[in-house]
Amino acid sequence: MKKKKMNQTWGKSKHDDLFRQKRNPALDAKGVFKFSKAVADVFPDMAKRSIPSYQETTQMVLDLSLMHLKKILSSTFVPAKKARKSLLRKTSKTSSTPSFNIGIADFGCSRGGYALQLHQKIHALLQQSLLKQKNSLSSLKAGKKSAASHKVDIYGIDSSRPMIAAANQAAKEEKKKALTKSAAKTNAASIKTVKPKLSLQFKHADIRQKDVFSFLGKQKKKQPLHIATMLYSLQFLRIPEKKQFLHRLMARLSDDAMVIVAEKTTMPDKDTFSQKANSTSANSTSANSASANSASLSENSLSSEVYAFFAKQHSIFKLQRGYNILEVSQKQHALKHVIHPLSFEETAQIFVSAGFSYPIVFFSWYNFTAFVVFKSDAAKTAASSKATH
């Protein structure tokens, strides 16, 4: 039942047979894979049949996002007496409760499947919260803690215009359904509908570019991101591009932000591994340690068989879901110069170097991994020190 809901949220999807066609609309003039309109039309079917546990992983990301959002919502209460006095001065003029802007961004949103589902879940969550909570001025005067009036902005970012067009179309359809459902409920129960402050926007932007965060406003008046997701999108960036993007992302995150990533992984780079092993060996004064490093390097060479097995299992996964051998082979060739996967260890190192905590893995399937990271304490301290100066 959940699978059916996910497909409906994405909008109608055609069956993916692009790599059976003589003139493949998924390829550019050089035969390289591109996210064309044809790919956007079949993407839900393509993802489900190409990425192991795609729907289940998306559901996990939804669960994690909602868990973190609930934590943020529950922690944004009116704090000490000094803050309450400030709030009372504001509310005496505006007769409204303080507002906290919460930003959520999905980078590489494709047709907006995750963002649309998250929007639905948050709408229900905020609506329920507004019905239960009483954010009255009298409660502030009584010195009681009161939840703020939260505004949640969800952004879907993608470099493919056809994907963004499909996402916007799906959002329109969902809005129409929601309005019809809301009207029916209101008429039936004769109650006043509570409308949460919630927005969903899909933006065309490339995460390789500096202006990818322009949707958040200028740096000085920026809206911080509390949740950022990258589901099988970072793998399209080369290492320098990954580092640049994560550096820019770090500057846009709130201190309590959660970053969720899903990636295709591969075998560790042999040269990188050799450098690490040699470096460790040079710094070691023990012959046993040097011997252990040599053994590790040998094991790494032998482990190529295991990683080859992982790749084979992925091909079998696609064959079991209706793709033929020619389709699998042609798509692999088309993606060869487009996807730049790293090993989990190399990916973790890049995140840690950018100021994030070590990744917490919540899903793994052969050569696919999904994990969560936060701002490291050192990064928070550095940001705080920079702000004070």
How far apart CA 173 and CA 165 sit, in angstroms, is 13
Mutual angle of helices 37-50 and 54-75, in 10-degree steps: 90
> Is 244's pLDDT higher than 90?
yes
Give the burial string for 1-25 (b: 16+ CB within 10 Å, else e).
eeeeebebbbbebeebebbeeeebe
In the predicted model, is pLDDT for residue 150 greater than 60? yes
Tokens linked to 291: 């011997």
Please report whether residue 334 resides in a domain.
no
CATH code at position 190: 3.40.50.150
Q: What is the count of structural domains for the chain?
A: 1
Q: Are strands 368-374 and 253-264 parallel, antiparallel or unpaired?
A: antiparallel
Phi, psi of 238 (to 5 degrees): -80, 165
Please, what sign has the CA dihedral across residues 168, 173, 174, 179?
A: positive
Residue 24 lies in a domain: no
Task: Quote the CA–CA distance of 57 and 362 in Å, as a whole number.
Answer: 9
pLDDT for res 3: 44
> Residue 42: how many CB atoms within 10 A of its CB?
18
In a domain, 71, yes or no: yes
More confident residue, 63 or 297: 63
Residue 318 forms part of a structural domain? no
pLDDT tens digit sequence for 185-208? 655 554 455 677 899 999 999 999
Task: Give pLDDT, residue 133.
Answer: 62
The C-alpha atoms of residue 259 and residue 41 are separated, in whole angstroms, by 28
159 token code pair: 């470099």
Domain encompassing residue 148: 52-267+342-384
Whether residue 302 has pLDDT greater than 60: yes
Position 23: which residue type? Answer: R
DSSP for 216-272 reads G--STTPPPEEEEEEES-GGGS-HHHHHHHHHHHHHHEEEEEEEEEEEEB-PPPHHH
Q: Which residues pair with 11 in a beta bridge?
A: none
**Is 324 within the bounds of a domain?**
no
Q: What are phi and psi of 362, to 5 degrees?
A: -120, -5
How far apart, in whole angstroms, are the C-alpha atoms of residue 276 and residue 269?
Answer: 11
In a domain, 273, yes or no: no
pLDDT of residue 4: 43
Query: Which segment, 62-76, 177-191, 267-281, 288-302, is predicted with the most confidence on average?
Result: 62-76
Q: Which of 98-112, 241-255, 291-305, 362-376 has the lowest mean pLDDT?
A: 291-305
The answer to whether position 200 is within a domain reads yes
